[in-house]
């Protein structure tokens, strides 16, 4: 996909993923509308690119809870990559309606503003926590996915299309367990883990960015894309980072809503999830009332191998040495 001379809105542009997407788009010649609620984050972003990309970065301070602000920011925008969200499980449990306003109402505002401005493509960044969710955060992400899929049903004659990506845990992103462990290691504290049974899917930042660009290029509307991710036990991650096979570990207790393992697809999704070289695609459900362009989706993925069964992060775990190798490749060890 050629991004030169394209105008792209990135929400959550000051976050770990949003800022990396912004950087890559600017380097590809796109004009980026960097949208975020963080004034300090936007100031830093503007300062960072004020010389090399001054003409191509547009700073938009605002909240996705405001459809009026989003509508103005989407003026003449070609694509939207929606990264803004409340993402912390424990905080969302105690501030549940705030999560609803941002992660559900905010997504609907993105949809409505995109349709109003005839945006070509909207890509929503979701999470594996949306699969069989046990937390408020996961539930709001699931609802966000549902809204994005449903949005394709009422585009009418508009060319706007909507799709989603699912991330696992992004290595060394803001608030990630790796950052927590690194801080504890540097301060010579015990490494805190909520349970020795905890397993998670992980991808590095580069894989997350590649997934977004691949999906934006390939999407026809209604798909959910996710990468072929590795999973490992959090105890082994702690061991790998500490460079000690027997580090001091303090077992606390799981947070409210926290699962021992994550999943990538539900039972009902597995039968319509196809395998590509590096990614999986959940093909949208279709019936006689589905939009005509859904036929193109069905044709595109017909004949590809299906996974046919759910996948869980507590299966096929990486060994301690494999985790160390992965961290070294990601320049985190």
Contacting residues for 25 by C-beta, under 8 A, at least 6 apart: 3, 8, 10, 32
- Can you tell me the distance from the alpha carbon of 271 to that of 129, in angstroms, rounded to the nearest whole number? 20
Whether pTM > 0.85 for this model: the answer is: yes
pLDDT of residue 331: 87
Name the helix (H) or strand (E) containing 80. strand 79-82
For the cut 90, the answer to whether the pLDDT of residue 281 exceeds it is yes
For the cut 90, the answer to whether the pLDDT of residue 9 exceeds it is yes
pLDDT of residue 291: 81
User: In degrees rounded to 5, what are phi and psi of residue 5?
Assistant: 70, 5
Answer whether 60's CB lies under 8 Å from 37's CB.
no
β 191-193/169-170 pair status: unpaired
Give the mean pLDDT of the chain: 94
| pLDDT interval class at 137 (50, 70, 90) | very high
pLDDT of residue 135: 96
pLDDT of residue 174: 81
β 199-203/230-233 pair status: antiparallel
Which tokens belong to 258? Answer: 């926290």
| pLDDT interval class at 175 (50, 70, 90) | confident
For the cut 90, the answer to whether the pLDDT of residue 333 exceeds it is no
pLDDT of residue 245: 79
Share of the chain above pLDDT 90, in %: 82
pLDDT in tens, 41-87: 999 999 999 889 989 999 999 999 999 999 999 999 999 999 999 99
Name the helix (H) or strand (E) containing 299. helix 294-301
Is 295 one of the annotated active-site residues of the chain?
no
Contacting residues for 129 by C-beta, under 8 A, at least 6 apart: 89, 135, 137, 138, 141, 259, 262
pLDDT of residue 247: 87
Domains, the chain, in order of start with CATH, read 63-169+204-228+267-310 (3.40.50.720)
Among candidate residues 87, 121, 129, 259, the one labeled active-site is 129
pLDDT of residue 154: 87
The pLDDT of 101-124, averaged and rounded, is: 98
pLDDT of residue 280: 96
Distance of CA 99 to the CA centre of its chain: 16
pLDDT of residue 296: 87
Q: What is the DSSP string of 210-248?
A: HHHHHHHHH--SS-EEEE--EEEEHHHHHHHHHT-SS--
pLDDT in tens, 291-322: 888 888 989 999 999 998 888 999 999 999 99
pLDDT of residue 228: 94
For the cut 90, the answer to whether the pLDDT of residue 176 exceeds it is no
Residue 199 CA: distances (Å) to CA of 148, 236, 264, 275: 28, 10, 13, 23
β 273-275/249-251 pair status: unpaired
Answer whether 86's CB lies under 8 Å from 128's CB.
no
pLDDT of residue 118: 96
Share of the chain above pLDDT 70, in %: 100
């Amino acid at each position: 996909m050629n991004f030169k001379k394209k105008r792209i809105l990135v929400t959550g542009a000051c976050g770990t993923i949003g800022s990396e997407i912004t950087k890559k788009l600017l380097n590809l010649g796109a004009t980026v509308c960097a949208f975020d609620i963080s004034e300090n984050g936007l100031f830093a972003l503007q300062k960072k690119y004020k010389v090399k990309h001054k003409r191509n970065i547009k700073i938009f301070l605002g909240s996705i809870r405001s459809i009026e602000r989003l509508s103005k920011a989407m003026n003449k925008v070609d694509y939207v990559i929606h990264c803004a969200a409340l993402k912390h499980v424990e905080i969302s449990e105690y501030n549940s309606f705030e999560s609803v306003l941002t992660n559900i109402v905010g997504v609907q505002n993105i949809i409505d503003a995109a349709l109003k401005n005839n945006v070509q493509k909207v890509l929503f960044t979701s999470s594996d926590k949306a699969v069989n969710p046990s937390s408020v955060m996961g539930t709001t992400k699931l609802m966000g996915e549902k809204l994005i899929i449903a949005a394709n049903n009422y585009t009418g004659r508009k060319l706007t299309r909507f799709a989603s990506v699912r991330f696992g845990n992004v290595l060394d992103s803001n608030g990630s367990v790796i950052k927590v462990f690194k801080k504890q290691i540097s301060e010579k504290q015990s490494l805190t883990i909520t349970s020795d049974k905890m397993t998670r899917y992980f991808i590095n930042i580069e894989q997350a960015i590649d997934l977004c660009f691949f999906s934006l290029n390939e999407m026809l509307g209604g798909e959910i894309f996710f990468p072929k991710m590795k999973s490992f036990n959090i105890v082994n991650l702690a061991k790998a980072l500490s460079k000690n096979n027997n580090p001091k570990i303090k077992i606390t207790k799981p947070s409210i809503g926290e699962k021992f393992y994550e999943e990538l697809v539900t039972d009902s999704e597995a039968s319509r999830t196809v395998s590509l070289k590096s990614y999986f695609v959940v093909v949208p459900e279709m019936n006689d009332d589905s939009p005509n362009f859904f036929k193109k989706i069905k044709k595109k993925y017909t004949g590809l191998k299906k996974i046919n069964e759910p996948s869980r992060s507590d299966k096929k775990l990486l060994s301690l040495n494999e985790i160390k190798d992965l961290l070294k490749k990601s320049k985190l060890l």
